Structure 1
Amino acid sequence: MVDILAAPQQTKADSALRTLTGISIAHWVSHFYIFVFPMLFPFLKEQLGVGYIELGFALTAFGLVSGLTQAPIGYLTDHFGARKVLLIGLAVGGCALIGLGLHLSYPALIVSAVVLGLANSVYHPADYAILSAHMDNARMGRAFSVHTFAGFLGGAVAPAIMLALVATVGGLGALIVAGAIGPLVALLLIAMGVPDTSAAERKAAGAEAPKQNIVTPAIMMLTIFFMLLGLSNAGISNFGIVALMSGYGVDLATANVALTAFLAASAIGVLAGGFLADRTHRHGQVAAAAFGINAVIMLVIAIASLPSPLLTALLTVAGFLGGVITPSRDMLVRNAAPPGAAGRAFGIVSTGFNFSGIFAPLLFGWIMDQHMPHWVFGASVVFMVLTVLLALVTERKPAQIPATA
Structure 2
Amino acid sequence: MAFSRTTRVNLLIGNGHFLSHFYVLCLPPMFIAWQRAFDVSFAELGMTIMLMSGTTAILQTPVGFLVDRHGARGFLVGGTLLMSLSLAAMGLATQFWQILALATLSGVGNSVIHPCDYAILSGSVDKDRMGRSFALHTFSGNLGFSAGPPVAALLMAWIGWRGALLTIGLLGVPVVVSILLQSRVLKDQVREVVHGAVTMSGRDLLTSRTMILFFLFFMLGAMAAGGVQSWLVTVLHDFKGIKLEVAATALTAYMLGSTTGVLVGGWFADRFNQHVLPFITGLTILSAVLIVAVDWLNLPIVVIIGLTFLSGLALGASRTPRDVMVKDAAPPGQIGKVFGFVSAGLPLGSAVTPVPFGMLIDHGHPELVLVLVAAILLLSLLCAGSARVSAKAEDAIALPAE
Change in Cα spacing, 1:198 to 1:70, as seen in structure 2 (3 Å) is: closer
Unaligned runs of 5+ in 2: none
Counterpart selection for 1:259 from 251, 259, 273: 251
Q: Distance in 2 between matches of 1:194 and 1:241?
A: 46
Name 2:213's counterpart in structure 1: 221
Counterpart selection for 2:378 from 371, 385, 391: 385
Q: Distance in 2 between matches of 1:390 and 1:209?
A: 22
Name 2:175's counterpart in structure 1: 185
Q: Distance in 1 between matches of 2:56 and 2:261?
A: 27
Over residues 316-350 of structure 1, what are the superposed CA-to-partner deviations in whole Å (9 max), with x where a residue is unaligned? 11010011011101011101111100000000001
Q: 1:88 aligned to 2:78? A: yes
Q: 1:397 aligned to 2:397? A: no
Retained in 1: the 8 A contact 2:225–2:350? Answer: no
Q: 1:30 aligned to 2:23? A: no
Name 2:311's counterpart in structure 1: 318
Retained in 2: the 8 A contact 1:285–1:391? Answer: no
Map residues 277-292 of structure 1 onto 2, 5 A cutoff: 277-280=269-272, 281-292=274-285
Name 1:297's counterpart in structure 2: 290
Change in Cα spacing, 1:202 to 1:59, as seen in structure 2 (3 Å) is: farther
Retained in 1: the 8 A contact 2:122–2:188? Answer: no
Retained in 1: the 8 A contact 2:131–2:321? Answer: yes
Task: Look up the SS of the partner of 2:392 in the other structure.
Answer: coil
| TM-score (normalizing by structure 2) | 0.91
Change in Cα spacing, 1:339 to 1:203, as seen in structure 2 (3 Å) is: closer
Unaligned runs of 5+ in 1: 1-10
Q: 1:128 aligned to 2:118? A: yes
Q: Could you tell me the percent identity over the aligned residues?
A: 29
Map residues 5-404 of structure 1 onto 2, 5 A cutoff: 14-193=4-183, 195-198=185-188, 201=191, 210=201, 213-215=204-206, 216-280=208-272, 281-395=274-388, 396-397=391-392
Q: Distance in 2 between matches of 1:135 and 1:199?
A: 10
Cα drift, residue 363 of structure 1: 2.0
Q: Distance in 1 between matches of 2:386 and 2:22?
A: 34
Cα drift, residue 197 of structure 1: 4.2
Over residues 109-155 of structure 1, what are the superposed CA-to-partner deviations in whole Å (9 max), with x where a residue is unaligned? 11112112212211111101100111110111011111111111111
Q: Distance in 2 between matches of 1:211 and 1:239?
A: 38
Over residues 286-321 of structure 1, what are the superposed CA-to-partner deviations in whole Å (9 max), with x where a residue is unaligned? 111100111212222233332212211111110100
Cα drift, residue 92 of structure 1: 0.5
Retained in 1: the 8 A contact 2:8–2:185? Answer: no
Aligned length: 388
Name 1:3's counterpart in structure 2: none
Over residues 65-88 of structure 1, what are the superposed CA-to-partner deviations in whole Å (9 max), with x where a residue is unaligned? 111111001111111211111111
Counterpart code for 1:220: I
Coordinate RMSD, CA, aligned = 2.2
Q: Distance in 1 between matches of 2:140 and 2:338?
A: 21
Q: Distance in 1 between matches of 2:292 and 2:46?
A: 31
Counterpart code for 2:210: A
Counterpart code for 1:28: F
Retained in 2: the 8 A contact 1:265–1:320? Answer: yes
Cα drift, residue 203 of structure 1: 10
| TM-score (normalizing by structure 1) | 0.90
Retained in 2: the 8 A contact 1:79–1:203? Answer: no
Counterpart code for 2:254: F
Change in Cα spacing, 1:202 to 1:37, as seen in structure 2 (3 Å) is: farther
